[in-house]
Structure 1
Amino acid sequence: MTDARLPDSAGPTFDDVFRRQLDELFAWRRDVRHFSREPVPAGLLADLFELACLAPSVGLSQPWRFVIVDDPSRRAAIRADFEACNARALADQSQERAASYARLKLAGLDQAPSQFAIFADPEPAQGKRLGRETMPDTTTYSAVMAAHTLWLAARAVNLGLGWVSILNPAAIAETLDIPAHWTFIGYFCLGFLLAEDDTPELERAGWERRQNAGSRILHR
Structure 2
Amino acid sequence: VFIAGAGNIGFTLAKKLEEGGYQVKLVEKDEVRARQASERLNKTIVLHGDAADEALLSQESIDATQMFCALTNEDEANILAAMLAKRLGATRVMSLINKTMYIELVESMLDIAISPRLSTVSELLLHVRRGDVVAAHTLRRGAAEAIEAIVHGDSKTSKLVGRTVKQLKLPPGAALGALMRNEQLIEIEDDVTIEDGDHVIIFMVDKARIHDVERLFEVSATFF
Whether TM exceeds 0.5 here: the answer is no
**TM-score, normalization: structure 2?**
0.24
Q: Which has the higher strand share?
A: 2
Higher-RCO chain (CA-CA 8 Å, sequence separation at least 6): 1
**TM-score, normalization: structure 1?**
0.25
